[in-house]
Amino acid sequence: MSDAANEKATPATGRARLKRDAEKAAAKAAGDSAAVPPGPDGATANAGGDRAAADTRTGGAAAWSDAGGTGPEARAGGASAAPRLAVRRTYKLYVNGAFPRSESGRSYPVTSPDGDHLANASLASRKDARDAVTAARKAFSGWSGRTAYNRGQILYRAAEMMEGRRSQFADEVAAADGVRRTRAEALVSAAIDRWVYYAGWTDKIVQAVGGANPVSGPYFNLSTPEPSGVVAVLAPQDAPLLGLVSVIAPVIATGNTAVVIASERAPLPAITLGEVLATSDLPGGVVNILTGRTAEISPHLAAHADVDGLDLTGAGDLATDLESAAAQTLTRVRRPAPGEDWTADPGTGRMTPFLETKTVWHTIGV
């Protein structure tokens, strides 16, 4: 089941609030917030009881929520100081290692399950998708040409970077899915562990699914899996972080590059993940994250002749049309499997659909 569906917190106990809510809360609480020492560089302002508990636990780690102006930025000053105006964060796309706005200049409001406005996200266009494919193609030979060990290290690095930002992710997941803080943290932990899982696969999958073939003749014959190329990934709509990592990590672990359409409803953790990837030694273009309307962008990716694989996990009702569009260039399609349990052992089932088997023969003679 999705991480959102299970533990929808009641508004009374654990609704997370960001931005405006947070600012309001900060302003209101200005009088007694001196008791909580602020982080060194705009540390999280805590709106809501469970958030405070989280900060106590993570302690100094909150210092990580600095890059790119993330998180709720209300900084509580002294009791007598005028309220400081927070620096809000702009959520942009992640394409070719950079964070551009949509070329269309459009954005759309992202709300919590309860309808509270969280942020404006970029509303990516067909052309943004095209640019993302170009970036992913450009990155492919370099990324697939890295040693498997190196890819593993970079995926592990992503886990390290996420760990450092776990509080921010927990905030975002809680806000996006309306789940309790503890649940959000568990989901963040699982997402981090997922990177670790796939980091370990990079240099083993070849051994697990490839091997020597005993042909009848004087030939050396070896089958090796190779990445398909550029994979368009429709991230699950209902699991904005754990589900997202669960679909991206297997695709790039094997050397593919990815163009990801984030959960339309809850895209914010995806952009934060982009920021993590940007600081994880992952070459630009290996993962490209688009936010916007899945129905608008995905047909262009499905039909794109330079897209080699299509993961329809988050496609919903679009799946049949997209699979049909993908048929035009024999794009490899992973069909959606509704009701996926993101906490289960992932196995290899998300890697093998985007692997090609290359079999090399060579004569054996003197």
Partner 1 sequence: MADDDATTAGNRPALGTALEYAPAPESRSVVAIRDSYDLFIDGVFTPAKSGERITTVNPADEQPLAEVAAAGEEDVDLAVVAARRAFDEVWGPMPGAERGKYLFRISRILAERAREFAVLESLDNGKPIKETRDVDIPLVAAHFFYYAGWADKLAHAGYGPDPRPLGVAAQVIPWNFPLLMLAWKIAPALATGNTVVLKPAETTPLTALLFAEVCQEADLPAGVVNILTGAGATGRTLVAHPGADKVAFTGSTAVGREIARVAAGTAKRVTLELGGKGANIVYDDAALDQAVEGIVSGIFFNQGHVCCAGSRLLVQESVADEVLERLKTRVSRLRLGDPLDKNTDIGAINSAAQLDRIRDLAGTGQAEGAESWSPACDLPERGYWFPPTVFTGVSQSHRIAREEIFGPVLSVLTFRTPEEAVTKANNTPYGLSAGVWTEKGSRMLWTANRLRAGIVWSNTFNKFDPASPFGGYKESGYGREGGRHGLEGYLV
Partner 2 sequence: MPDTAYASDTAASNTSLRAYLYGLPGVDEVGAQARAADLSTRSIKTTAKRAAIDLAISMVDLTTLEGADTRGKVRAMSAKAAHPDPADPSVPRVAAVCVYPDMVETAVAALRGTGVGVASVATAFPSGRAPLEAKLADTRAAVAAGATEIDMVIDRGAFLSGDLRKVHDEIIAVKEACGTAHLKVILETGELATLDNVRRASYLAMLAGADFIKTSTGKVAPAATLPVTLVMLEAVRDHHAATGRRIGVKPAGGIRTTKDAIKNLVLVNEVAGAAWLDPALFRLGASSVLNDLLMQRTRLTTGTYPGPDYYTLD
Q: Which of 235, 253, 206 is nearest to 316 (CA)?
A: 235
Query: Which one of 27-35, 161-169, 217-225, 313-321 is the stretch in contact with partner 2 (CB under 8 A)?
Result: 217-225
| Position 365 contacts partner 2 (CB under 8 A) | yes
Q: Compute the least distance from the CB of residue 363 to partner 1, in Å.
A: 5
Of the pair 125, 228, the CB lying nearest partner 1 is at 228
Q: Which of 204, 257, 259 is nearest to 228 (CA)?
A: 257
| Position 218 contacts partner 2 (CB under 8 A) | yes
Of the pair 5, 327, the CB lying nearest partner 1 is at 327
CA within 13 Å, CB half, 278: 17
For residue 60, count CB atoms less than 10 angstroms from its CB and return exposed for 0-12, middle for 13-18, buried for 19 or more.
exposed
Q: Which does 366 bind (CB under 5 to 8 A by kind): partner 2, partner 1, none?
A: partner 2
8: Cα separation from own chain's centroid: 21
| Position 362 contacts partner 1 (CB under 8 A) | yes
| Position 214 contacts partner 2 (CB under 8 A) | no
Q: Which does 138 bind (CB under 5 to 8 A by kind): partner 2, partner 1, none?
A: none
Size of the site for partner 1 (CB under 8 A): 34
Q: Are strands 309-311 and 219-227 parallel, antiparallel or unpaired?
A: unpaired
28: Cα separation from own chain's centroid: 34
Size of the site for partner 2 (CB under 8 A): 7
Exactly one of 131, 308, 311, 340 binds partner 1 (CB under 8 A); that residue is: 308
For residue 339, count CB atoms less than 10 angstroms from its CB and return exposed for 0-12, middle for 13-18, buried for 19 or more.
exposed
Query: Which one of 70-78, 181-189, 211-219, 281-289 is the stretch in contact with partner 2 (CB under 8 A)?
Result: 211-219
Helix (H) or strand (E) holding 321: helix 319-326
| Position 364 contacts partner 2 (CB under 8 A) | yes
Of the pair 218, 339, the CB lying nearest partner 2 is at 218
DSSP string covering 114-145: T--EEEEEE---HHHHHHHHHHHHHHHHHHHH
| Position 366 contacts partner 2 (CB under 8 A) | yes
Exactly one of 8, 193, 219, 348 binds partner 2 (CB under 8 A); that residue is: 219
Tokens of 145: 């040409």
Biggest CA-to-CA distance, the chain: 88
| Position 216 contacts partner 2 (CB under 8 A) | no
Which residues would be at the binding site for partner 2 (CB under 8 A)?
A: 217-219, 363-366
